[in-house]
Amino acid sequence: MQFVGTIGRGTIEKLRRLRYLMAVLWAVGRLGAAPDSWRRTTRAVLARQIVFTGVDALGFVIFVAFLAGISIVVQAQVWMGRLGQLELLGPLLVTVVVREVGPLLVNFIVIGRSATATAAELAGMRVRHEVSVLDAQGVDPMVYLVMPRALGMAVCVLCLTVVFALVSFATGYMCGALLGTGPEDPAIFARSVLRGFVPGDFVNLGAKTILPGLMTSIIACVEGLSIEGVATDIPQAVTRTVVRSTLSLLILSVIVSVLTYV
């Protein structure tokens, strides 16, 4: 019975935490749609978040996309050529790069780079009592600290995933053309890729980037702001951010794939 009770308490705690995250997500969406929330200071936080998460990470994402284009796209061209099924190259690349690999890798990069930094930043503000000062001055921490970071990170994940897919396709085509494993005419390669898209791919791409981006940023903000004001709790908040963001990313990816294509 103690074992059953332990499982029950853990399940209830996880459901309670999930309910709290959903409440924060709803609050972020409601505040983001309210024009009064977008004051100059909030817009400045949003701009800084976009620069840090999107612009500063662009070079690393392009480099990863370059390597992915060589390893994934070129191999697909080689195997499709051996099987005499080059007409299936486009659908295969869309399935691998756009539907799965691109969103997952970009989200992992954002979790490791931006979510951890956000959790550490907000936890540091909590330790230095800066959050209490903002609250005393009448500044809503949800509007100033959470909402612009969440929306900025979600937008950056979507944009970086699009860049990742484009760079991967371009790199794979150029390497395939140099090695003689793919079509020499770029128009043939582009038409093959475009034919691989179906309407559900655009829904899948948006859902697998915006939703995990929102959840990652919200988890980072909640974990950073939930510490008790002790500096030694900051590493634990960062660790919980990585673990829970990764878990939510994988769960959301599975759910979106099942709802979109099954």
Give yes or no for residue 169 having a pLDDT over 70: yes
Report if residue 219 sits inside a domain: yes
Report if residue 72 sits inside a domain: yes
Overall average pLDDT of the 109-122 stretch: 93
More confident residue, 92 or 148: 148
Report if residue 40 sits inside a domain: no
Report if residue 52 sits inside a domain: no
Report if residue 148 sits inside a domain: yes
Overall average pLDDT of the 85-106 stretch: 79
Give yes or no for residue 150 having a pLDDT over 70: yes
Domain of residue 116: give its range: 60-261
Reported confidence tier of residue 1, pLDDT bands at 50, 70, 90: low
Encode 147-186: b = buried (16+ Cβ within 10 Å), e = exposed. bbbbbbbbbbbbbbbebbbebbbbbbbbbbbeeebbbeee
Reported confidence tier of residue 244, pLDDT bands at 50, 70, 90: very high
Report if residue 21 sits inside a domain: no
Overall average pLDDT of the 225-239 stretch: 86
pLDDT at 55: 93
Give yes or no for residue 102 having a pLDDT over 80: yes
Give yes or no for residue 181 having a pLDDT over 70: no
Helices (H), the chain: 2-32, 40-50, 58-68, 74-83, 89-93, 102-110, 116-127, 130-136, 141, 147-179, 186-195, 199-225, 234-261
Residue 163's identity, in one-letter code, is: V
Indicate whether this model's pTM tops 0.95.
no
Would you tell me how many other CB atoms lie within 10 Å of the CB of residue 237? 22
Domain count, the chain: 1
With beta carbons less than 8 A apart as the criterion, state whether 37 and 147 touch.
Answer: yes
20-52: pLDDT as tens digits: 889 998 999 898 888 888 888 899 999 999 999
Report if residue 132 sits inside a domain: yes
Overall average pLDDT of the 225-236 stretch: 85
Report if residue 71 sits inside a domain: yes
